[in-house]
Amino acid sequence: MTGNAAVAIEGVRLTSPDKVLYAEQGITKQALAEYYVAVADAALPHMARRPLSLVRCPEGSGEACFFQKHVGSGVPDEVRRVEIPDGTGTAEHEKGSSTYLWIDDRAGLVALAQMGVLEIHPWGSTIDRLETPDRLVFDLDPGPDVAWDRVATAAFEVRDRLAALGLESFLKTTGGKGLHVVVPIEPRHDWSVVKPFARAFAAGMAKDAPERFTIAMAKKARGGRIFVDYLRNGRGATAVAAYSTRARRGATVSMPIAWSDLGPGLDQSAFSLRTVPALIARRRSDPWEKLGETRQELGPALSALGL
C-alpha cells in the first residue's frame, strides 16, 4: 500500500484505509476491516441475516457519530437491503415500509468497516422471520455508583431466574460497564408476546429487590441500582452484537464469555479490537457454541409468569 490509496479486502474496495478511527490506539479503517475478517466465523452467526442498526463514525470514535437504521448514501452493494413494513397506521393503505440493512458474509462486514461503522446492532429476529424473534436480551445497565461485583451478581441472578422458568441463557460483555444475558428461543411468538414477557421478568426482579434493580429508563432513577433493560426486546429494538466493536475509548468489543469466567476480576477493557482475535484463536471452546443449537419454547415461561 502506498500512502492512503484504496485497498481491496474480501473483494471490497476500502478507501482511505489509513484513516484513524480510534485515535488513542492509532487503529485505522483497514485494521477495523481486518479485525472483522479475523472474527467472522465467530461473529457472523450472531449478525448475519438480521436487520441492523449501525453506529457510524466516519471521522473516528472521538468525533461526531450517528445512528443509522435505514439505507442511505454511501452504502456499498455488499450490504444487503430488505424492505420492512413500518407497522404504523390504522388502515392498510396508511402503512408504509422502510429499507433496512443486513449482511451475510465477510464482504458485508468489510463493507460496514468501509462505512465507518463502529457498532453493529442486530434485531432479535432474522429477515426470514421478522415478526417472530428468536432471541431475548436482558441488558444490565448499572448506575454510575454501582460496583462491578454487583453487576456480576445480578447477571447470575438473571441466569438463575431464567433457569427456574426452564430457559438456558448465555452471557456477554457489552464493551461498557454492563452485561447482556441472551436467551435463544423458538421463533413462535410475535413481538406483542415477547416484549411483555421480558418486561414482566424484569419487573419481577425490581419488585423483589427494589433497592438493587429498576425498570425505569430515566438515568436519575438508577442511583445505586441496576437498570434491567427489557426494552431491547421490542420490534425494531436492537442490542449490540456479539463481537461488535464499540465507539468507545479503548476500541472495546462486546465479547461472549462463559458463566464460569464471570467474577470480580473480570476486566471488560481486556476485550478489544487488538486482543479479541488472539483470544478466539487460543480458546479451547466457544462459550456460545450451543446457543445456535438451543431451541427453547417460551410457552411454559409465559404461563409461569401468568401471561
Q: Would you list the domain boundaries of the chain?
A: 11-304
Predicted pLDDT of residue 222: 83
The pTM assigned to this predicted structure is: 0.95
Residue of 52, 17, 16 lying closest to 34 (CA atoms): 17
Distance CA 207, CA 228 (A): 12
Query: pLDDT by residue (tens digit) across 229-286?
Result: 999 999 999 999 999 999 999 999 999 999 999 999 999 999 999 999 999 999 999 9
Predicted pLDDT of residue 64: 86
Share of the chain above pLDDT 90, in %: 88
The CB density around residue 133, as the number of other CB atoms within 10 Å, is 27
- CATH number of 11-304: 3.40.50.300, 3.30.1490.20, 3.90.920.10, 3.60.40.10? 3.90.920.10
84 confidence band (pLDDT: 50, 70, 90): very high
**Is there a contact between 118 and 21 (Cβ–Cβ < 8 Å)?**
yes
Query: pLDDT by residue (tens digit) across 190-242?
Result: 999 999 999 999 999 999 999 999 999 888 878 899 999 999 999 999 999 99
